[in-house]
Structure 1
Amino acid sequence: MLFDLTDLRLFIFVAELKSLTKAAERMHLSLAAASNRVKELESRFGMRLLYRESKGVLLSPAGETLLSHAQQFMQQVERLRSDMQQYNNGIRGHIRIFANTTAVTEFMPQVLGAFLKAHPHVNVALEERLNHDIVRGVQDGTADIGVAAGPVQGQGLEIINFSTDRLLLATALDHPLAKAGSISFAETLAYPHIGLHEGSTLQHFLNKMVLDTGVRLELRIQVRGFDAMCRMVEANVGIGILPQSAAARHSKSMKLALVELTDPWAVRERSVVVQNLDSLPGYARELVELIRSEQVREHGASAGVAGVQ
């Protein structure tokens, strides 16, 4: 055999830490043992995998290829271990979902509440990821289902558009922009913003849009979710950009002015992403259908928020 699991774990740590010494410590191996394992890998593959330099190690092109496969392989091993463990706990099914910020915080709790009530023996893992990580996760099998917003491209994937959402500007009622009927994103940059955390799909997207304007975004504070954002906006700490679906919920209990953004990208398609819908287990296909049907109801209910159409 060319390698074992210890070899792959070690190689991944070497690549991440850029140090054979630190990787050996992480694996609880002596430096000599770790070095021998890497040399054996190079010997078995017949090519150099690492460049050893004074400041650490760098991967060769062949090493980069091995790293990519090793990461995918170890993810599958962990997934196998996790999935098999579920059966010891009476679980008969498992679904992994990668989703964007809005999905995780706004509608997936309701969707999963209904789904798990109907399927008590199915376990669900839901993770918030950026759009490109969502697509990549479905492509390499790390995720069974992806839920994304905005343009989605993935070769060989099924992309199912299920609703449309709009990004709005939220301000305090006495903010200078509160009476604006509509406004461009660039015009909002003259005022301090309330942003989401850096791992948020929406914040990542807005940061990219800021680069196109050539103007600096002043983030007065970053928070973990739309509820905290809206509370900061209501207190006039700053203004915020959020999906209309989130605005619908929070404007019922907070004093917010909602202003339409004129930028074309403010209207975003929501999509479910899978490798092949027909190849999913029946309960996973039911979950996809539940996401689609739930969003038809949710989108219709929020369409008239504060006069924004």
Structure 2
Amino acid sequence: MDLRQLAYFLEVAKFKSLTKAAESLHISQPALSKMLKSLEDELDMKLILRTNKTSDLTDGGRIVMQYAQKIFSQIEEMETTLNDLKSLKRGSIRIGLPPIIGSLYFPSVMAEFHKKYPNISITITEYGAAKVVKSVEEGEFELGVAVLPVNEEDFHIYPIVEDEMKLLIHHEHPLASQSSVQLKDLRNEEFIFYHEDFALHDIMWKKFIEVGFEPKILFKSSQWDFMVEMVGANLGVTILPESICNRVENKYVKVLSIKPVIPWNLAVISRKNKYLSYAARTFIDFFL
């Protein structure tokens, strides 16, 4: 059974005449009769009672007509929905977002995007950047915001932020008179550090190892404002992106540059070889 058979059948049911249906379909009456006969043979049931003047439906024919009408109605609805998606009258996006990043860059962007595309719903889940990457790879999210680098063989990468890491210390710290510090000179410091599911955890740990030591971890946190307050209470030092440091208003905290520079670059990522919705593609274009 194919859709053309059902369409031809519905035309006959509509006109109750093979002649008028054939004229409407712009085919010959014998061709129409042959198509109807093939449908009846396939269903093993007579659908139309043919007389000289009319073509009435049997009980089975009326059932086929009801279902055929539903089928074509659903096809029409599907086409309308797809057109709505293409014109962005509707849609949804699932995004994975690290908590530190979300508060910095996304509120204003989300507001502007929603204003322009009010019928696109956005579901945001906050994970550490490392878990965001894994979740995009596994298909939980269409899009994620990740700290670079990520594997370019697995992901499409759309850079959005270039930043660098800074050291935050108490204003009475022995290094407070300096404007910058060598990373290797932090060997004896106690750190307010990040949880393991944050990309910054592995990034900074590797940097410390490269200069010859493992950092002494006093506390771990997932909240940058809490980390800053801990530094302000002189409980340790921490390292955060400059864009976060620019928001620090604690008068007891001083921000120093780190040598060599440690980049903190962000990108929107999507998994390669996976369908990306119209809404997600539009979001990428909008954000960039």
1:208 matches 2:212: no
C-alpha spacing 1:115/1:274, structure 2 compared with 1 (3 Å): same
1:245 aligns with 2:227: no
Partner of 1:169: 167
Change (3 A) 1:166 1:101: farther
Q: CA deviation at 1:246?
A: 0.4
Q: For residue 96 of structure 1, what is the aligned residue in structure 2?
A: 94
Q: Name the counterpart of 2:186.
A: 188
Is it true that 1:262 corresponds to 2:233 in the alignment?
no
Gaps of 5+ in 2: 1-88
Note if contact 1:102-1:243 (Cα within 8 Å) is conserved in structure 2.
Answer: no
- Mapped contact 2:241–2:264 kept (Cα < 8 A): no
Post-superposition Cα deviations, 1:122-177, rounded to whole Å, max 9, x if no partner, equal 1312232333x444433443221121123222315321222211100011111111
Alignment of 1:251-290 (within 5 A): 252-264=249-261, 266-275=262-271, 280-290=276-286
> Contact 1:105/1:225 (CA < 8 Å) preserved in 2?
no
Between Structure 1 and Structure 2, how many residues are aligned? 199
Amino-acid identity (%): 25
Deviations 1:74-94 (A, max 9, x none): xxxxxxxxxxxxxxxxx9432
Match of 1:198 among 193, 196, 199: 196
Structure number with greater Rg is 2
TM-score (norm. length: structure 2)? 0.60
Determine if the alignment matches structure 1 residue 147 to structure 2 residue 145: yes
Give the superposition deviation at 1:180.
1.9
Q: Which amino acid aligns with 2:112?
A: A
The amino acid that maps onto 1:126 is T
1:150–1:174 Cα change, 3 Å:
same
Q: Does 1:232 align with 2:204?
A: no
> What's the offset of the Cα at 1:215?
2.0
* Residues 214-267 of structure 1, C-alpha deviations (whole Å, 9 max, x = no match): 4231222222311111111112111110000100112x4544211111124x12
Larger fraction in helix: 1
CA distance in structure 2 between the partners assigned to 1:188 and 1:289 by the alignment = 41
Contact 2:98-2:128 within 8 A present in 1 as well: yes
Alpha-carbon separation, structure 1, partners of 2:140 and 2:188: 41
1:127 maps to which residue? Answer: 126
TM-score if structure 1 supplies the norm length? 0.56
Aligned residue number for residue 223 of structure 1: 221
- Gapped runs of 5+ residues in structure 1? 1-90, 293-309
**What RMSD in Å do the two structures reach over aligned CA positions?**
2.8
1:211–1:179 distance in 2 versus 1, CA, 3 Å:
same
